[in-house]
Amino acid sequence: SHTGNTQDPNNRWMWRTNQKRMEAEVVRDSVLFLAGSLDTKMGGADIPHNKGMTVPRRSLYFKHARERQMKFLRMFDAANPRECYRRQQSIRPQQVFALINSSLLLEQSRILAKALVRELPQTGRHASFITLSFETILNRVPTAAEHQRCLQFLRGQTKRLSDVKKLKRLGTRKSAVPPSTDPAQRARENLALVLFNHHD
| Residue pLDDT, tens place only, 137-193 | 999 999 999 999 999 999 999 999 988 766 655 444 578 899 998 999 999 999 999
pLDDT at 21 over 80: no
Report pTM. 0.81
Decide: 116 and 193 in contact? Cβ < 8 Å. no
**The one-letter amino acid at 129:** F
3-state secondary structure 75-87: HCCCCEHHHCCEC
Residue 6 and residue 40: Cα distance in Å, rounded?
43
What Rg, from alpha-carbon coordinates, does the chain have? 19
Q: Containing H/E element for 71?
A: helix 71-75
Query: How many angstroms separate the first and last alpha carbons of the chain?
Result: 18
* Cα 29 off chain centre by: 10
- Cβ atoms within 10 Å, residue 65: 10
Angle ∠(27,130,126) on CA atoms, nearest 5: 135
| Residue pLDDT, tens place only, 55-84 | 899 988 887 777 777 777 777 777 766 666
Q: Containing H/E element for 122?
A: none
Q: Give me the pLDDT at residue 113, please.
A: 97
Instruction: Indicate the pLDDT class of residue 24, thresholds 50, 70 and 90.
Output: confident
Decide: 141 and 134 in contact? Cβ < 8 Å. yes
Decide: 99 and 196 in contact? Cβ < 8 Å. yes
Instruction: Indicate the pLDDT class of residue 125, thresholds 50, 70 and 90.
Output: confident
Q: Give me the pLDDT at residue 170, please.
A: 47
